[in-house]
Amino acid sequence: MGESRDAGSDADPPDSVVDAVFDAVAATVPEIRAALPGRRVESGTENASGESVMAGDLYADELLGEAITAVSGVGSFVSEERETAVDAGGAVGDGGDAYAVAIDPLDGSSNLRSNNAMGTVVGIYDAPLPATGRDLVAAGYVLYGPITTMVVADESSVREEVVESDDDGTGVTRTIVDADLTLPAEPTVYGFGGRVPDWPDQFTDYAREVESELKLRYGGAMVGDVNQVLTYGGVFAYPALVDAPDGKLRLQFEANPIAYIVDRAGGAASDGDRDILDVEPGGIHDRVPLYVGNEALIERLEATLAG
Ligand code: AHM
Ligand code: MG
């Protein structure tokens, strides 16, 4: 086990805005976990992407929104579950010294009903949103699995922490279990989203090759599936579909932060044609195909799609 510290304690002030944001996110973990059993149903509303929102999505969004906008140095906050950005005070980008934070509060929330893994995704941008992945200064995710872990990537490192509630219920303790998270050189697993009949032919060709080499591990939550790739090596994709050429996942909240993390861990991420981090966004809720994992597998994917 590595070093541990209490998140958000007054005695241990964060070194930076980035640290403070991840302290705030980690501090919500016990409340989010505790609230989920009663929130496994649809809320009856749709989000900006036209998807049905679960009660758990709304609760996580509310809690994380409050915690993150309270961080000094966060100037703007935007979530997959909100139409528009929240002004949190402080100018972001040129002339300003505040950051914009984008989150997917509960990634893979359709897994709530079946009690499978889910996550929270966080991107911290040094530019107003929508922005490119090159504007990220840090990104991370929480994985609500049998244990709760948080992976945090910034300029200097990618680390994995275990997040546990303190015995007295006053906060959480974060213990670094891997201070230098690196994608294994030898790939082992793959997981691809969408229905096979909806895949374009070139992607089906690629999938046929990959499935003859690697083992299928797909759980239906990007955070869980990418965490398997980071742990065992391999490739995750939510591809372009014949009737949805931009795929399903959102650039600001999902693809950019995951691309940043995997890139920093020694892997690569593509939209099928170029590095995800170079994709120019149109709007906050833009979707993008995502292919992410070991560099050789992503290069082969791009070559196969190019025909
Ligand atoms: P969500 O953020 O609304 O939960 O949607 C994103 C999730 C991803 O976690 C996952 O990769 C994908 O949707 C799975 O979609 P599907 O259920 O269509 O396979
Ligand atoms: Mg999501």
Banded model confidence at residue 13, pLDDT cuts 50, 70, 90: low
Report the residue among 107, 217, 253 best suited for mutation to probe ligand 1: largest number of ligand atoms under 8 A from its CB.
107
**Does the CB atom of residue 238 touch ligand 1 within 6 A?**
yes
Q: Please identify, by atom number, the ligand 1 atom nearest to the C-alpha of residue 108.
A: 4
Banded model confidence at residue 7, pLDDT cuts 50, 70, 90: very low
The more confident residue out of 121 and 15 is 121
Residue 296: which H helix or E strand, with range? Answer: helix 295-305
Residue 255: nearest ligand to its CA? 2
Q: What would the pLDDT profile of 265-291 be if each residue is shown by its tens digit?
A: 999 999 999 999 999 999 999 999 999
Provide the pLDDT for residue 3.
53
> Which domains are assigned to the chain?
3-178 (3.30.540.10), 189-306 (3.40.190.80)
Provide the pLDDT for residue 14.
64
Banded model confidence at residue 90, pLDDT cuts 50, 70, 90: confident
Tell me the sheet residues that pair with 13.
none
Provide the pairing of β-strand 86-87 with 172-178. unpaired
Q: Please identify, by atom number, the ligand 1 atom nearest to the C-alpha of residue 109.
A: 4
Is the model's pLDDT at 4 over the cut of 90? no
Known binder of ligand: residue 110?
Answer: yes
Distance CA 176, CA 27 (A): 16
Contacts of 123 (CB under 8 A, 6+ apart): 101, 102, 103, 136, 139, 252, 253, 256, 257, 260
**Does the CB atom of residue 248 touch ligand 1 within 6 A?**
yes
Q: How far is the CA of 304 from the centre of ligand 1 (A)?
A: 24
Residue 51: nearest ligand to its CA? 1
Average pLDDT (148-166) is 97
Give the number of residues written for the chain: 307
Provide the pLDDT for residue 8.
41
Ligand 1 atom 14: residue of nearest CA: 220
Q: How far is the CA of 90 from the centre of ligand 1 (A)?
A: 33
Provide the pLDDT for residue 93.
87
Q: Please identify, by atom number, the ligand 1 atom nearest to the C-alpha of residue 253.
A: 2
Ligand 1 atom 7: residue of nearest CA: 108
Distance CA 249, CA 184 (A): 25
Ligand 1 atom 17: residue of nearest CA: 220
* 223, 117 Cβ separation under 8 angstroms: yes
Average pLDDT (131-149) is 98
Average pLDDT (86-113) is 94
pTM of the model: 0.95
Count of other CB atoms within 10 angstroms of residue 273: 12
**Does the CB atom of residue 47 touch ligand 1 within 6 A?**
no
Known binder of ligand: residue 241?
Answer: no
Provide the pLDDT for residue 64.
98
**Does the CB atom of residue 255 touch ligand 1 within 6 A?**
no
Distance CA 1, CA 266 (A): 23
**Does the CB atom of residue 301 touch ligand 1 within 6 A?**
no
